[in-house]
Amino acid sequence: MNKFSLFLLLLSTAFGTAQNAETYFENIRNNEAQLTAFFSQMPKGGDLHHHYSGSVYAEPLIAYAIKNNFYLNLETLEVQPQRGTDGIWESFEMIQKNGALPLYQQKIIEKWSIKDFNGISYPSDKQFFESFGKFEATIKGTFEQGLLELKNRAIKEQVSYIETQLSTIPCDMNTEDLTPYNEELRSLVAKKDEKAVFKALDQLFATFNKREAAKYAANFNTNFVAKMHNDLKIDDAQFTMRYQNFVLRFMEPVDLFKNLVIAFISADNSPLIDGVNIVSPEDGATAMKDYELHMFMYKYCHAKFPKVKYSMHAGELTLGLVQPEELTWHINSAVYTAGANRIGHGVDLAYEKNNYELLRYMAKNKIAIEINLISNEFILKVKENRHPFSLYKEFGVPIVISTDDAGILRTNLTEQYVLLAKRYPQVSYKDIKEYVYNSIRFSFIEESKVKEQVLDDLDYRFKKFEAQFK
């Protein structure tokens, strides 16, 4: 057999295998159990919209609190290493002595996640976002354990890459003398004076550099991320992980910008830190007031650090959550002003001004959308045809499927694909396979060799998976 004949044989075999897998998929797409079995085995590439603290399940965090005899607020179910000053606090040792530990373990899981949430007694968005503060004290002592938990779960689930938002960068830089800039920046944005905004940011940037912003970035990169990543041997033949820095959009402008500058410096100087993000509820008072200012800050940092990629939570809003006019411009601003490389959530797309033009721009410029179905359903009550997934697909915007906060949401990546197949009959196996490959192609992995290796591994995994359907 000559080389050309061999090539045709291999091509026809590969095509036939894919067709068989697609046929099987179409035959089972209305059966949730069969879909779950199918997607459990299917290679899923990467999880790009992933918050570390929200992805660790509650059970090991509770175990850590018990082991270290933390204190539990019996009313709010928050834990702390020391007894709090407000409310009724009890040590886990005493709770266990009183025989009440199993009861409180169950109560804690229900408060730290969406387990058994009834959707009546408390707003779902508050349940979700408030949970982070309740278990925060346990996160600080369990990074190593948590990363290994996420890695091992990913491997078992056929996930080969995670791009996680790990932690804010610790910084004790004093900025009290800079607080007048807060209202100055807000005033300049209100006047639409971009040039003056950038001049003020220039002054702040110079001050932060004088106060050794680079020192905080270097310490975080070397003594926290790289040390932990290497000591735990996170990367291997089966799995790769990279990290996004992030800032909190409820902070005052000066401190947020300080943290943003340090986050960009960090990402610019480490291949393990492959991007920057902005988080916290988009409908918060400060987040809404300063949204446009934040976009200018990202635009400024991009000019200073052009090689640093960034994804942005944008359009994680829906009708009723904010005033209708506030739904018309957040994704627009994240794309056109901030220059985001990817958009997280993007749920308010249908309300955005000139949304068709926006979609065409995102498609043309390969700005991927991170779709998080369970998250959007629980937090915003947006699902099925209310979700703009079909709009993104129709206009050819690159789509990636992600979990967001799998621990709090008690979900995994498999479930996201099951819902996708059940809810959107226009999605074919070919589409799903494209979304999986998008999760690597649109990842922020800096090292080209690493990205190629992950893609090659994905090719191998799909060949093995599809061979089952011959």
Whether 2 shows a pLDDT value over 60: the answer reads no
Q: What is the DSSP pairing of strand 342-345 with strand 368-371?
A: parallel
Q: Which positions ≥6 away from 53 have C-beta within 8 Å?
A: 132, 135, 136, 139
H/E stretch holding 287: helix 285-289
- Does pLDDT of 381 surpass 70? yes
Do the beta carbons of residue 322 and residue 329 sit within 8 Å? no
405/412 Cα distance (integer angstroms):
9
Q: What is the pLDDT of residue 262?
A: 98
pLDDT band at 122 (very low <50, low <70, confident <90, very high): confident
| Predicted pLDDT at 119 | 77
- Give mean pLDDT, residues 326-334: 98
Task: Compute the distance between CA of residue 128 and CA of residue 112 in angstroms, rounded to an integer.
Answer: 8
The pLDDT value recorded for residue 14 is 47
What value does the mean pLDDT of the chain take?
A: 95
Tell me the sheet residues that pair with 248. 279
Q: What is the architecture, at CATH level 2, of domain 45-53+158-469? A: Alpha-Beta Barrel (3.20)
Task: Please give the pLDDT value at position 12.
Answer: 45
CA distance 372 to 382: 11
pLDDT at 440 over 50: yes
pLDDT 10s digits, 80-118: 999 999 999 999 999 999 999 999 999 999 999 999 998
- pLDDT band at 1, cuts 50/70/90? low
* Gap between the Cα atoms of 204 and 190, Å rounded: 19
Q: Is the pLDDT reported for residue 13 higher than 50?
A: no
The set of residues, in sequence order, having a beta carbon less than 8 Å from that of 374 and lying 6+ positions away, is 403, 404, 409, 411, 415, 416, 419
Q: What are phi and psi of 183, to 5 degrees?
A: -75, -30
pTM for the full predicted model? 0.93
For residue 165, pLDDT beyond 90: yes
Q: By the 8 A CB rule, do 64 and 141 touch?
A: yes
User: Could you tell me the pLDDT band of residue 470, with boundaries at 50, 70 and 90?
Assistant: confident
| Residue spans of alpha helices (H) in 221-278 | 227-231, 253-268
Least confident of 112-126, 323-337, 430-444: 112-126
Note the pLDDT of residue 120.
76
Cα gap 443→163, rounded to integer Å: 8
pLDDT on residue 87: 94
**Residue 389 scores a pLDDT above 80:** yes
Tell me the per-residue pLDDT of 250-259, one tens digit each, with 9 for 90 and over: 999 999 999 9
Residues 64 and 139: their CA atoms lie apart, in Å, by: 9
Contact assessment for residue 64 and residue 105, using Cβ atoms and an 8 Å cutoff:
no
Q: Is pLDDT of 3 > 90? A: no
In this prediction, residues 184-209 reach a mean pLDDT of 98
Residues of the chain with CATH 3.20.20.140: 45-53+158-469
Asked if pLDDT for residue 7 goes beyond 70, the answer is no
Share of the chain above pLDDT 90, in %: 94
Give pLDDT, residue 18: 55
Instruction: Report whether pLDDT(204) > 60.
Output: yes
Q: What SS3 class is residue 243?
A: strand
pLDDT at 283 over 50: yes
| Amino acid code (one letter) for 294 | H
